[in-house]
Protein backbone atom coordinates (compact mmCIF):
# COMPACT_ATOMS: atom_id res chain seq x y z
CA UNK A 1 0.00 0.00 0.00
CA UNK A 2 1.30 3.46 -0.93
CA UNK A 3 0.91 5.96 1.90
CA UNK A 4 0.80 9.11 -0.24
CA UNK A 5 2.39 11.01 -3.09
CA UNK A 6 5.02 12.52 -0.76
CA UNK A 7 7.23 9.43 -0.76
CA UNK A 8 7.26 9.24 -4.54
CA UNK A 9 7.85 12.99 -4.79
CA UNK A 10 10.75 12.72 -2.32
CA UNK A 11 12.25 10.07 -4.61
CA UNK A 12 12.16 12.61 -7.45
CA UNK A 13 8.98 11.61 -9.26
CA UNK A 14 6.42 14.15 -10.41
CA UNK A 15 2.84 13.50 -9.29
CA UNK A 16 1.45 15.12 -12.43
CA UNK A 17 3.42 13.18 -15.03
CA UNK A 18 5.16 10.12 -13.56
CA UNK A 19 2.39 8.17 -11.84
CA UNK A 20 -1.28 7.90 -11.01
CA UNK A 21 -2.40 6.66 -7.60
CA UNK A 22 -5.79 5.14 -6.92
CA UNK A 23 -7.81 3.97 -3.95
CA UNK A 24 -10.69 1.66 -4.81
CA UNK A 25 -12.19 2.05 -1.30
CA UNK A 26 -12.01 -1.72 -0.90
CA UNK A 27 -9.88 -1.60 2.25
CA UNK A 28 -6.65 -2.33 0.38
CA UNK A 29 -5.53 1.30 0.36
CA UNK A 30 -3.79 3.39 -2.25
CA UNK A 31 -1.81 1.77 -5.05
CA UNK A 32 -0.01 2.83 -8.20
CA UNK A 33 -2.58 2.55 -10.98
CA UNK A 34 -0.30 3.86 -13.76
CA UNK A 35 3.47 4.20 -13.95
CA UNK A 36 4.44 6.73 -16.63
CA UNK A 37 8.04 7.53 -15.68
CA UNK A 38 11.00 6.41 -17.76
CA UNK A 39 12.73 5.55 -14.48
CA UNK A 40 12.08 2.17 -12.86
CA UNK A 41 9.18 2.04 -10.42
CA UNK A 42 10.48 2.01 -6.81
CA UNK A 43 9.49 -0.72 -4.42
CA UNK A 44 6.84 -0.18 -1.78
CA UNK A 45 9.60 -0.30 0.86
CA UNK A 46 11.56 2.46 -0.92
CA UNK A 47 8.42 4.58 -1.17
CA UNK A 48 7.59 4.02 2.50
CA UNK A 49 11.14 4.92 3.59
CA UNK A 50 11.03 8.11 1.51
CA UNK A 51 7.59 8.97 2.89
CA UNK A 52 8.85 8.53 6.47
CA UNK A 53 11.82 10.83 5.73
CA UNK A 54 9.42 13.41 4.27
CA UNK A 55 7.15 13.07 7.32
CA UNK A 56 10.06 13.70 9.70
CA UNK A 57 11.05 16.86 7.81
CA UNK A 58 7.43 18.02 7.72
CA UNK A 59 6.92 17.38 11.44
CA UNK A 60 10.16 19.17 12.34
CA UNK A 61 8.97 22.28 10.50
CA UNK A 62 5.76 22.63 12.54
CA UNK A 63 7.23 25.68 14.28
CA UNK A 64 7.50 27.46 10.90
CA UNK A 65 3.86 26.76 10.03
CA UNK A 66 2.80 27.96 13.50
CA UNK A 67 4.84 31.14 13.13
CA UNK A 68 3.45 31.85 9.67
CA UNK A 69 -0.08 31.58 11.03
CA UNK A 70 0.71 33.85 13.99
CA UNK A 71 2.50 36.61 12.06
CA UNK A 72 0.43 39.66 11.20
CA UNK A 73 -0.08 40.47 7.53
CA UNK A 74 2.74 42.32 5.78
CA UNK A 75 0.51 45.43 5.65
CA UNK A 76 0.01 45.27 9.42
CA UNK A 77 3.73 44.72 9.99
CA UNK A 78 4.59 47.75 7.85
CA UNK A 79 2.01 49.80 9.73
CA UNK A 80 3.62 48.70 13.02
CA UNK A 81 7.03 49.82 11.75
CA UNK A 82 5.59 53.17 10.65
CA UNK A 83 3.91 53.86 14.00
CA UNK A 84 6.29 52.15 16.45
CA UNK A 85 9.56 51.91 14.54
CA UNK A 86 11.60 48.83 13.81
CA UNK A 87 12.24 48.25 17.52
CA UNK A 88 8.49 47.98 18.21
CA UNK A 89 8.01 45.64 15.27
CA UNK A 90 10.94 43.47 16.36
CA UNK A 91 9.44 43.18 19.85
CA UNK A 92 6.15 41.92 18.40
CA UNK A 93 7.91 39.42 16.13
CA UNK A 94 10.11 38.18 18.99
CA UNK A 95 7.01 37.28 21.00
CA UNK A 96 5.82 35.07 18.13
CA UNK A 97 9.26 33.51 17.62
CA UNK A 98 9.63 32.84 21.34
CA UNK A 99 6.18 31.21 21.46
CA UNK A 100 7.12 28.98 18.49
CA UNK A 101 10.82 28.18 18.93
CA UNK A 102 12.90 26.59 16.19
CA UNK A 103 13.99 23.08 17.22
CA UNK A 104 17.66 22.66 18.04
Which contiguous run of DSSP H or E holds residue 68? helix 62-70
Predicted pLDDT of residue 4: 81
Where are the domains positioned within the chain?
5-60, 62-99
DSSP state of 41: P
| Mean pLDDT over each residue of the chain, to the nearest integer | 95
Distance (Å, whole) CA 83 – CA 8: 48
Average pLDDT on 9-25 reads 96
Mean pLDDT in residue range 35-64: 95
pTM: 0.72
State residue 3's pLDDT score: 76
Residue 104's H or E segment, with its range, is none
Tell me what the mean pLDDT of segment 68-77 comes to: 98
Topology of the domain covering 5-60: Phenylalanyl-tRNA Synthetase; Chain B, domain 1 (3.30.56)
Summarised one tens digit per residue, pLDDT across range 78-91 is 999 999 999 999 99
Strand partners, 32: 21
Q: Does the structure show a pLDDT above 80 at 99?
A: yes
Amino acid sequence: MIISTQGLSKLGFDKYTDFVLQDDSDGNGVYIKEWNSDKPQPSEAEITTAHNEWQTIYDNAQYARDRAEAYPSIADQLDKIYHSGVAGWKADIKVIKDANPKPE
